[in-house]
Amino acid sequence: MLFVNLNFLLFVTILLFVIGLLGLILNKKNFLIVIISIELLLLAINFNFVIFSVYFDDIVGQIFVLFILTIAATESAIGLAILILYYKIHNTITINFVKTKKS
């Protein structure tokens, strides 16, 4: 059986979290990248919960992951629906236009 080191798995979760955080910080124009970065942050946290749930032999972390995934899916669906409606009205989805729009 293949055993993976706990430090390697934690490094992967930190790497995923940093990539999602950089996607949020460095993004200036695309709203879709913001949504993808938030999802990547949530998935990195979920992966961390699963790792420690298996490590401590406790099911509570895995149950908590199911709740977080449900909330993340609804957040993504609602965000994309709002984005589609905004694009139909204004024909653009750039963040700078959204911030400066008064009406």
Residue 58, domain member (yes or no): yes
Per-residue pLDDT tens for 80-96? 998 899 889 888 887 77
d(CA 6, CA 67): 24
pLDDT in tens, 65-81: 999 999 999 988 998 99
| Domain CATH code at residue 47 | 1.10.287.3510
In a domain, residue 36? The reply is yes
Place of tokens 């790792």: 51
> Which structural domain, as residue segments, surrounds residue 14?
8-100
Convert the chain into a string of H (helix), E (strand) and C (coil): CCCCCHHHHHHHHHHHHHHHHHHHHHCCCEHHHHHHHHHHHHHHHHHHHHHHHHHCCCCHHHHHHHHHHHHHHHHHHHHHHHHHHHHHHHCCCEHHHHHHCCC
Reported pTM: 0.82
- Quick check: is 80 in a domain? yes
Q: Please give the average per-residue pLDDT across 51-65, as a whole number.
A: 93
